[in-house]
Structure 1
Amino acid sequence: MIWLLEGQSSQRDIIIGAREALPAGVKIFASHGQARPEITGLADVSLFEPADSQERIEWVLQTALENNIKVILAGREGRLIESARAQFDAAGLTLVTGGLSIEALNCVDDKSLFTAQAEQAGLDCVPAITVTDALELATAYATLAAQGEVCIKPVVGIYGEGFWRFNPQADAFSCFAKGVREVNFDTYLQAYAATETKPAMLVMPYMAGSECSVDMVCEAGRTVAFVGRRKKGLYQTFEREGAAVELAVKAAQHFGCDGIVNIQTRDDADGKPHLLEINPRYSGGIGYTRATGINLPGIFAARRLGFKEPESDWLANVRVKAVTVAIPLPV
């Protein structure tokens, strides 16, 4: 049996993919810290996770042993669960958190540390300057702006939260009025300087090319399956060959990725990909990849439980568009 702990809303897609690949007699457990029946209701057993961190670890261990669960996929709380790996190992449980140590997870979560290590390993990545105060921000911007467009994002974060592209021509109010991710640097600097507790930020050259989001199934750094996704307007397209996915595979190996992970790259103006980040958890868009004939969640679940993995039949020239679907739920 396999247990999928709380993750992104795409936890629903992980359940669907795993169910499709596993024998009918193998139960899938799913849990969440909130009442999310539209997600966990697709599993054979739905559970509610406690909020307290220490209580959650003990509850996961006890529940897994009581229900003869073999594999536990940590999602949103991967670092918390990873910190107790020794306890899970001692109990004979297979724990999958995206990495094989807390140090590995900390490295990829901290984008400043990740960038430094990627550069040391010779992996092409978006160069970045870490800043923690207004003077450092102004200096970093002046340095990079002399070479081209500049952008900024938090050292730690997901979903692109806190990302801004600096546009010298942007009206000071346009970022508030239009909801775009562009802002005049002076406006941003003034706001950052006025913030009492300043978060560490990464100032980077803005890459003008497209972004590739590579969903991957990895085992101790070895990539066993992957699909690259690119957003093109309202649609997403897919790829399995090319420099972007090759770079993602190399990065997964170097950083010892383990589980269902997501690696993002960005092309420069010449089409050369650079590493943006590694997310040691499945992405929000992983469900789209099943349209290519490759069931990444199913491959992961089957291999970890010792079953034959589902056949992959790559479908080229596929594009998808997300739509909102209403799901009836009990009151």
Structure 2
Amino acid sequence: MIWFLEGQSSQRDVIAGARAALPDTVRIFASHRQNRPEITGLADVAWREPQDNQERIGWVIEQARARQIKVVLAGRVGQVYEAHRAEFEAAGLQLITGALDLETFERVDDKSTFTREALAAGLACIPAMTVSTQAELETAYAQLARDGQVCVKPTRGIYGQGFWRLADNVDPFRSFANADAHEVNAAVFAQAYGQSDAPQPLLVMPYMPGSECSVDMVCEAGEAVAYVGRRKQGLMQTFERDGAAVELAIKAARHFKCDGIVNVQTRDDAAGQPHLLEINLRYSGGIGYTREAGVNLPGIFAARRLGLPVPASTWRENVQVKAITVVVPVRGEELLR
């Protein structure tokens, strides 16, 4: 038995991948704090999780023991579960959080710490300066702008929230007129940052103009056992299983001893050389796309953790995908209470 706890909306794709790989005799459990049957409906059993993080720990352990569940995969709040790993192990449960200890979450989630450690380990990573005041931001920008475009992002966060490209020649109103462009006048941004009631630390770094590669991986104690790189090309995504970006992602996962279904993001410089952006110790929003490349990462993960035969992978060349919105019908009796 395997249990997929609340994750991103791609939790549905993870459940689908596991179901396609596991025998019908293996029951799949899924849960979510919100009323999301369109996500959890593919599981054999779906539950509504408690809202409080600490309450969830005891509840998950109790339910898992009662239902003879062997593997529990954390999703959205892996760090919370990692802090209670000893309790899961004492209950005879295999907890998968994306890391093997709580310290790894701190080293990865704080992008300032992650950048320093990655560079010290010899991993190609975008060099960055951490700032927490307007004066520090202006100094860092002036220094980096001499060599090219500059960008900023929070030291903590997901989904690219808070990412901006700074420049002196950007119309001061552009960030309001077209926020999706993520371009802002450097002086306007610095002034607003200085006037913030509680400015959060930022990373100031050179902007890499090349394409981004998102590498989805199944890892076991740092070793990548299966992986697929997704390169974003406009509205489409293509797949790759080798090359510099994938190799860099594998090295990064090994260094930080990633464990579970994780995601490593890289971005190419002007010469086409990849640099690490970040590691997400959870499955990505696009994990489901990788099955179109012929590799069922969630299925491989589930089968290996349960000691069952692993689904075969058949790589498909020259595949491009584009996400679309689909309708999932939900009957009233399926709504979780």
- Cα distance, 1:52 vs. partner? 1.2
Distance 1:123 1:78 in 2: 25
**1:89-100 alignment to 2 at 5 Å?**
89-100=89-100
Letter of the aligned partner of 1:30 in structure 2?
A
Q: Secondary structure at the match of 2:263?
A: strand
**1:1-331 alignment to 2 at 5 Å?**
1-179=1-179, 180-331=181-332
Q: Secondary structure at the match of 2:127?
A: coil
Residue deviations 1:265-313 (CA, integer Å, cap 9, x gap): 0100000100000000000011110001100000000000000100000
Residue deviations 1:30-70 (CA, integer Å, cap 9, x gap): 00010000000110000111011211100011111011000
Letter of the aligned partner of 1:299 in structure 2?
I
Letter of the aligned partner of 1:295 in structure 2?
N
- Cα distance, 1:147 vs. partner? 1.3
Distance 1:136 1:62 in 2: 50
- Cα distance, 1:168 vs. partner? 2.3
Distance 2:75 2:297 in 1: 15
Q: Secondary structure at the match of 2:242?
A: coil
Distance 2:298 2:329 in 1: 25
Distance 2:295 2:80 in 1: 30
Residue deviations 1:105-125 (CA, integer Å, cap 9, x gap): 111111000001101100000
Distance 2:209 2:233 in 1: 14
- Cα distance, 1:211 vs. partner? 0.5
Letter of the aligned partner of 1:53 in structure 2?
N
Letter of the aligned partner of 1:301 in structure 2?
A
Letter of the aligned partner of 1:221 in structure 2?
G
Letter of the aligned partner of 1:216 in structure 2?
M
Q: Secondary structure at the match of 1:136?
A: helix
Distance 1:153 1:22 in 2: 40
Residue deviations 1:205-264 (CA, integer Å, cap 9, x gap): 000111100000000000000000011111100101100000000000000000000000
Distance 2:132 2:234 in 1: 35
Distance 1:328 1:90 in 2: 40
Distance 2:282 2:231 in 1: 19
Letter of the aligned partner of 2:110 in structure 1?
D
Q: Secondary structure at the match of 1:207?
A: coil
Letter of the aligned partner of 1:327 in structure 2?
V
Computed over aligned residues only, the root mean square deviation of the Cα atoms, in angstroms, reads 0.7
Letter of the aligned partner of 2:306 in structure 1?
L
Distance 2:72 2:329 in 1: 29
- Cα distance, 1:9 vs. partner? 0.2
- Cα distance, 1:166 vs. partner? 1.0
Shifted more, 160-169 versus 64-73: the winner is 160-169
Percent identical: 64
Letter of the aligned partner of 1:15 in structure 2?
I
Letter of the aligned partner of 2:148 in structure 1?
G
Q: Secondary structure at the match of 1:175?
A: helix
Letter of the aligned partner of 1:55 in structure 2?
E
- Cα distance, 1:330 vs. partner? 2.3
Q: Secondary structure at the match of 1:100?
A: coil
TM-score normalised by L of structure 2: 0.97
TM-score normalised by L of structure 1: 0.99
Q: Secondary structure at the match of 2:54?
A: helix
Uncovered stretches (5+) of structure 2, i.e. residues with no partner: 333-337
Q: Secondary structure at the match of 2:325?
A: coil
Q: Secondary structure at the match of 2:198?
A: coil
Distance 1:285 1:57 in 2: 27
- Cα distance, 1:167 vs. partner? 2.6
